[in-house]
């Protein structure tokens, strides 16, 4: 809101503003497109060019933005912060799931009851109702093979070597 009021008073260039917006969009696109940093670098370049053009209208006003003392440090600081955020978000996209059905598959637990043909298992700190593929007795180590709603399908775990 404040920017809309200021843009009515200050002489600014729409092209400069659009370059800044394009620069931000390119930096965000870096998350979703494998460009090995080219979109990010293009975004920083658009941000710099847009910043130089934003208030550069000598026919209307003497108002300009100093490149070396204002614009470059501002864009460099923004680039560092945006780079750290992009790196952190990008790593989270590649991380293994830590919850949900995918995380449960292959988990090991202990049979809390003897199965006939269903029973209770203790997996990841929780008791689950489960169906067994084969004979499972109380205290046996089990491995989760499937999740069917709120029920697990388990089998006797193979000994770890």
Class of domain 101-156: mainly beta
Cα-Cα-Cα-Cα torsion 137, 139, 143, 148, nearest 10 degrees, comes to: 70
Q: Which residue has the higher pLDDT, 58 or 115?
A: 115
Looking at residue 121, what DSSP letter applies?
A: E
Per-residue pLDDT tens digits for 63-74:
666 777 888 898
The percentage of residues in the chain with a pLDDT greater than 70, rounded to a whole number, is: 92
Entry pTM = 0.53
**Confidence band for 99, pLDDT divided at 50, 70 and 90:** confident
Omega prior to 117 cis, within 30 of 0: yes
45-71 burial string, b = 16+ CB within 10 Å, else e?
Answer: ebbbbbbbbbbbbeeeeeeeeeeeeeb
144 SS3 class = strand
CA torsion sign, 136 to 140 to 143 to 146? Answer: positive
Per-residue pLDDT, 25? 94
The Cα 110–Cα 140 span in angstroms is: 6
What is the bridge-based pairing of β-strands 151-156 and 141-148? antiparallel
**Confidence band for 37, pLDDT divided at 50, 70 and 90:** confident
Domain boundaries, the chain: 2-94, 101-156
């Amino acid at each position: 809101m404040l920017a809309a009021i200021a843009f009515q008073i200050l002489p600014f260039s729409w092209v400069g503003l659009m370059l800044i917006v394009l620069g931000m969009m390119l930096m965000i696109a870096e998350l979703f497109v494998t460009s090995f940093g080219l979109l990010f670098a293009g975004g920083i370049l658009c941000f710099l060019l847009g910043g130089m053009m934003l208030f550069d209208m000598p026919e209307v006003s003497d108002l300009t933005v100093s490149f070396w003392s204002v614009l470059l440090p501002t864009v460099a600081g923004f680039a560092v912060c945006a780079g750290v955020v992009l790196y952190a978000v990008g790593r989270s996209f590649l991380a293994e799931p830590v919850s949900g059905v995918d995380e449960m598959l292959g988990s090991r637990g202990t049979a809390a009851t003897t199965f006939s043909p269903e029973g209770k298992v203790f997996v990841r700190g929780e008791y689950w109702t489960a169906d067994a593929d084969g004979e499972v007795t109380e205290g046996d180590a089990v491995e989760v093979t499937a999740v069917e709603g709120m029920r697990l399908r388990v089998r006797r775990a193979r000994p770890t070597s």
